[in-house]
Amino acid sequence: MSEHDETRETDAHSGTETTGHEWDGIKELDTPLPRWWLYIFYASIVWSVIYMVFMPAWPALPGLAGETDHTRGLRNHSERANVAEALDELAEMRASGFAALEGASIDEIESNPELLGFVRAAGEAVFGDRCATCHGVGAQGFVGYPNLNDDIWIWGGSYDEIRHTLQVGIRSEHPDTRFSQMPAFGRDELLSRSEIADVSDYVLSLSGVSADAGAVGRGQAIYDVQCASCHMDDGRGDRAQGAPNLTDQNWLYGGSREQIIATIHRGPYGVMPAWEDRLDDATIDALAAYVFLLGGGEDATARPTGQ
Amino acid sequence: MSNTTPKSMAAPGITRSKAEAVNAADTRELYKKREPIYPKLAHGKFRFVKWVIMALALGVYYLVPFLRWDRGPGAPDQAVLVDFAHGRFYFFFIEIWPQEIYYVTGLLIMAALGLFLASALFGRVWCGYACPQTVWTDLFIMVERMFEGDRNARMKLDRAPWSLNKAWRKTGKHAVWLVIAFATGGAWILYFHDAWDTLANFFTGTAAPSSYVFAGVLTFTTYTLAGTMREQVCTYMCPWPRIQAAMTDRDALNVTYRIDRGEPRGAHKKNDSWDNRGDCIDCKQCVAVCPMGIDIRDGAQLECIQCALCIDACDDIMGKVGRPTGLITYETDDNIDRFVKGETPRYPFIRPRTMVYAVSLAIVTALMLGALVTRTHLELNSQRDRNPNYVRLSDGGVRNGYTVNVINKANAPRVMDLAVEGDPAIGVRILGAPDLMPGQIEIGPDRSQDYVVYLTLPDDAIDGPREEITFVVTDQETGETARSPSVLITGAE
């Protein structure tokens, strides 16, 4: 039993000395700590020494610990190496999926639940990394960047067409890139301001928006000369030239009269990079299938133009 | 308190110990070294009950992994199995999936309420009889007694200098402890993989690394906690003694010294009168048998696990000195006060606290049983795509995407119709359902499968910003259905 310290108060009920700390009449007992708590503390110190021997622990001067700037420990443990190993394992796991994808038609992909699951997972990951910046995480698109969920395709919506677009890009630096250019009718002074306004009214009327009849008539005359070669006489566009259908409700660069005037004025020049040299074929397959299966993909036999 | 009465003067069969309560309030030290406790073997009805409970508890723990339960081909046949690898928990006829973890939650709530109820009625019965710490410590003390003898022999052995006799007894004890500890850790891992396979793999070095880790950790903790730490676990490590104060009240039965009967205590010679004195002859047998090293006559203490061994010890003595048993007994604090005042005891087992616990327990039990009985083998969940919220199509129609999750908990593949209730104009397209009729899906046994479903509403059928719809999946054979309500957003004003 310890010497009783006369200067310290002893709790009458428990017979234990108090620490002297008091909160609103509640006093703290100075209850003895069990000795094994100390043993655990000593064991922790021993453990830390063992850990330092086996695991990376200390910063080291360059050259003293090999190529790293810290002691490696007997286990030569490296999280960086672990990550590299895990990535290799991941690639190995994915390899079978990518192999199954090679040469598969979109019907085969869609009707094979495992392949479908693989495409949706792998495609979504690549899409998030490479495509979402412009097309949005959900591929919903923005002004100037098409929505990939719908059934509206400027260059074609079959699995093969989508894959080709991914490979060569649009107006990219790829030698075989999909290419077309709409003139900047206003900026290059091919049409006057009033002519552009008239054409805009006519284009609006193509998709059922009522516009001034006189302007529409004047605009149609200009359209037939300036626009119909690409967008076709009926305004339904031509996928071979990447000319959008002007008769639907979908507007890549905005569907208000002002936006249409601005589009004709400046002649848009939307660019999508070519991915052929940046992604391997299997990844492009997965990406094309993913985009196709967002819901808007078309049969390979689908209309070559916007018919 | 004198302890000098000659043995010849005591009643026949009465033993007297120089037992000191090593954890008594008076003798506590700062920086406390563990004082070894040498519990003496008690004989009596509570000791018998504890032997029976120990046999049952250990039997269940060690043998249950080997029970088999036929679940058909492809499913494990172990009656109780926590299959982390495949995300299943099997308990005889019950199979629980990870998303049904609420069954476990319910079980824990039931266990907690049961503990509260038991505490309100009978004090720390859990601590005294059923807690693994108590059971294994009891087992380890039994082994210790086998090798080193009972209390006095053990104390003598510990005081004695090292000898061959002492060495083999100590070695034997620790060896058997280690074997038991290893069996305890070894049985634990049998609950997580097939028991027979694990057993075979373990000794050929081919079991999962986690098996060795857990077997090792539990061997260590069993050996340490039950062999060397014992009462320290209850006193310093376990929160329950502290919570206990809130769980019992003056009407709960506790292992209690009948201060009204016992005092004033003192040595009693064979033919002395019992007048003007208490029944306690201060033989300290209650202290000698106590595995916690306390003196129950000091009153309620947080160290007391209420194992009732002191009751057995005291009853034994009372019988020998010819006084009524029950000087130490299960009694309520309130009744002790009543005895002191000469009033009759009362046992209000039915009181608001116990009723609240009992009714809560009954409600939770009923809910859990109800959920278990009505558990279906088919579940359907749907998640509508939020990005994009909806897709406007070239013909003016609108399309929404959904991830529909179908869970088949039956151990057989099933073909099912997946249909949509709502506007009949809605077109349904299910991705990944090959070789079947439109709207049909096939799902393997014991599986959860996601389907991508596109719903299209034509332009002329749009008449509001949203349509209420319901996915319905129907088993073609059994007609079992599951439903999941959702909406179709049209984007219209």
Contacts of A113 in chain B (CB under 8 A): 432-434, 449
User: Locate tokens 């990005």: which residue?
Assistant: B387
> Pairing between strand B440-443 and B466-475?
unpaired
B391 with A35: Cβ contact below 8 A: no
Query: 10 Å Cβ neighbour count for B490?
Result: 20
Helices (H), B263-345: 285-289, 309-321, 333-341
pLDDT above 70 as % of chain B? 95
Which residues on neighbouring strands pair with residue B455, listed in sequence order?
B400, B428
Contacts of B433 in chain A (CB under 8 A): 111, 113
Query: 10 Å Cβ neighbour count for A37?
Result: 12
Q: How far is CA A91 from the centre of its chain?
A: 20
Identify the sign of the CA torsion B66, B69, B70, B76: negative
Helix (H) or strand (E) holding B245: helix B240-247
Instruction: Give which of A222, A306, A214 is closest to A264, Cα–Cα.
Output: A222
pLDDT digits (tens, 9 = 90+) for A221-268: 999 999 999 999 999 999 999 999 999 888 999 999 999 999 999 999
- What DSSP designation does B89 have? E
pLDDT digits (tens, 9 = 90+) for A147-201: 999 989 999 999 999 999 999 999 999 999 999 999 999 999 999 999 999 999 9
Give yes or no for B242 touching A (CB within 8 A). no
Contacts of A294 in chain B (CB under 8 A): 401
Instruction: Give which of B114, B119, B131 is closest to B54, Cα–Cα.
Output: B131
Vertex B119, ends B117 and B123: CA angle to 5°?
A: 150
Q: Which of A17, A38, A116 sits opposite B431 (nearest CB)?
A: A116
Answer for the pair B90, B76: CB distance below 8 angstroms, yes or no: yes
Contacts of A33 in chain B (CB under 8 A): 30-32
CA distance B24 to chain A (A): 10
B28 with A15: Cβ contact below 8 A: yes
Contacts of B127 (CB under 8 A, 6+ apart): B134, B234, B240, B241, B305, B306, B307
Answer for the pair A255, A245: CB distance below 8 angstroms, yes or no: no
Residue B470, SS3 per DSSP: strand
CA distance B317 to chain A (A): 30
Contacts of A139 in chain B (CB under 8 A): 388
Buried b or exposed e, range B435-459, using 16+ CB within 10 angstroms: eeeeeebebeebebbbbbbbbbbee
pLDDT digits (tens, 9 = 90+) for B360-374: 999 999 999 998 888
A1 with B434: Cβ contact below 8 A: no
Contacts of B385 in chain A (CB under 8 A): 138
User: Locate tokens 């079991």: which residue?
Assistant: B207
Distance CA A286, CA A292 (A): 10
Task: Identify the contact set of chain A against chain B, taking CB-CB distances under 8 A.
Answer: 1-2, 14-17, 30, 32-36, 38, 110-113, 116-117, 120, 136-140, 147, 149-152, 245, 248-250, 293-296
Q: How far is CA B438 from the centre of its chain?
A: 50
Q: Which of B28, B396, B454 sits opposite A16 (nearest CB)?
A: B28
Answer for the pair A120, B452: CB distance below 8 angstroms, yes or no: yes
Contacts of A32 in chain B (CB under 8 A): 28-32
Reported confidence tier of residue B4, pLDDT bands at 50, 70, 90? very low
pLDDT for position B94? 85
Query: Could you give the strand order of the β-sheet that contains B80-83, starting from the edge strand earlier in sequence?
Result: B80-83, B88-91, B94-96
Find the mean pLDDT for residues B311-340: 92
Vertex A261, ends A257 and A263: CA angle to 5°?
A: 115
The dihedral over CA atoms of A148, A153, A158, A162, expressed in degrees to the nearest 10, equals: -60
Contacts of B232 in chain A (CB under 8 A): 34, 36
Answer for the pair B475, B488: CB distance below 8 angstroms, yes or no: no
Distance CA B303, CA B292 (A): 7
**Of A6-10, B438-442, B483-487, which has the strongest mean pLDDT?**
B483-487
Answer for the pair A285, A106: CB distance below 8 angstroms, yes or no: no
pLDDT digits (tens, 9 = 90+) for B78-104: 999 999 888 889 998 888 888 888 888
Give yes or no for B30 touching A (CB within 8 A). yes
Contacts of B77 (CB under 8 A, 6+ apart): B68, B69, B70, B71
B30 with A32: Cβ contact below 8 A: yes
Query: 10 Å Cβ neighbour count for B473?
Result: 24
User: Locate tokens 């269940």: which residue?
Assistant: B60
Distance CA B426, CA B438 (A): 14
**Residue A80: both structure tokens together:** 């960086």
State the ipTM, two decimals: 0.76
Reported confidence tier of residue A17, pLDDT bands at 50, 70, 90? confident
Nearest CA in chain B to A296: B393
pLDDT digits (tens, 9 = 90+) for A105-129: 888 888 888 888 899 999 999 999 9
Answer for the pair B486, B471: CB distance below 8 angstroms, yes or no: yes
B385 with A138: Cβ contact below 8 A: yes
Answer for the pair B402, B464: CB distance below 8 angstroms, yes or no: no
CA distance A307 to chain B (A): 11
Best probe of the A interface among B431, B442, B449, by most A CBs < 10 A, is B431
Give yes or no for B237 touching A (CB within 8 A). no
CA distance A49 to chain B (A): 21
Q: Is the pTM of this model over 0.80?
A: no
User: Locate tokens 């029970």: which residue?
Assistant: B67
Distance CA A78, CA B26 (A): 56
For chains A and B, CB pairs below 8 A equal 93
DSSP states of B254-284 as a string? EEEE-HHHHPSP----TT---TTS-S-----
Residue spans of the domains in chain B: they are: 1-375, 378-489
A35 with B34: Cβ contact below 8 A: yes
B33 with A113: Cβ contact below 8 A: no
Burial, B294: exposed, middle or buried (Cβ in 10 Å; 0-12, 13-18, 19+)? buried
CA distance A190 to chain B (A): 31
Which residues on neighbouring strands pair with residue B473, listed in sequence order?
B418, B482
A36 with B30: Cβ contact below 8 A: no
DSSP states of B163-218 as a string? -HHHHHHHHHHHHHHHHHHHHHHHHHHHTTS-HHHHHHHHHHT-S-HHHHHHHHHH
Contacts of B27 in chain A (CB under 8 A): 1
Give the N- to C-terminal CA distance of chain A in Å, as an integer.
100
A245 with B31: Cβ contact below 8 A: no
Question: Is residue B2 scored above 50 in pLDDT?
Answer: no
Distance CA A20, CA B100 (A): 52
pLDDT digits (tens, 9 = 90+) for B274-321: 888 889 999 999 999 999 999 999 888 888 999 999 999 999 999 998
Q: Which of B31, B388, B433 sits opposite A140 (nearest CB)?
A: B388
Up-side HSE of residue B332: CA atoms within 13 Å toward CB? 18
Question: Is residue B211 scored above 60 in pLDDT?
Answer: yes
Contacts of B369 (CB under 8 A, 6+ apart): none
Find the mean pLDDT for residues B449-477: 91
Query: Residues 412 to 471 of B: which have CB under 8 A from any A CB?
Result: 429, 431-435, 449-450, 452, 454
B31 with A35: Cβ contact below 8 A: yes
Distance CA B182, CA B122 (A): 34
Question: Is residue B23 scored above 70 in pLDDT?
Answer: no
Tell me the CA distances in angstroms from B370 to A79, A133, B165, B367, B374, one per residue in order.
49, 50, 61, 5, 6
Contacts of B392 in chain A (CB under 8 A): 150, 249-250
Reported confidence tier of residue B434, pLDDT bands at 50, 70, 90? low
Best probe of the B interface among A8, A13, A16, A116, by most B CBs < 10 A, is A116
User: Locate tokens 């006084």: which residue?
Assistant: B323
A34 with B236: Cβ contact below 8 A: yes
B431 with A249: Cβ contact below 8 A: no
Query: 10 Å Cβ neighbour count for B369?
Result: 11
Question: Is residue A37 scored above 90 in pLDDT?
Answer: no
SS (H, E, C) chain A: CCCCCCCCCECCCCCCEEEEEEECCEEEECCCCEHHHHHHHHHHHHHHHHHHHHCCCCECCCECCECCCECCCCCCCCHHHHHHHHHHHHHHHHHHHHHHHCCCCHHHHHHCHHHHHHHHHHHHHHHHHHHHHHHCCCCCCECCECCCCCCCCCCCCEHHHHHHHHHHCECCCCCCCECCCCCCCCCCCCCCHHHHHHHHHHHHHHCCCCCCHHHHHHHHHHHHHHCHHHHCCCCCCEHHHCECCCCCCCCCCCCCHHHHHHHHHHCCCCCECCCCCCCCHHHHHHHHHHHHCCCCCECCCCCCCCC
Tell me the CA distances in angstroms from A209 to A262, A307, B218, B270, B402, one per residue in order.
18, 20, 78, 119, 33
Q: Which of A14, A33, A152 sits opposite B25 (nearest CB)?
A: A14
DSSP states of B133-167 as a string? HHHHHHHHHHHHHHHH-SHHHHHHHHHSPP-HHHH
B450 with A117: Cβ contact below 8 A: yes
Contacts of A127 in chain B (CB under 8 A): none
pLDDT digits (tens, 9 = 90+) for A258-302: 999 999 999 999 999 999 999 999 999 999 999 999 988 887 554
Is CATH 3.40.50.2000 the right assignment for the domain spanning A182-268?
A: no
A293 with B452: Cβ contact below 8 A: yes
What's the CATH architecture for B378-489?
Sandwich (2.60)
B388 with A137: Cβ contact below 8 A: no
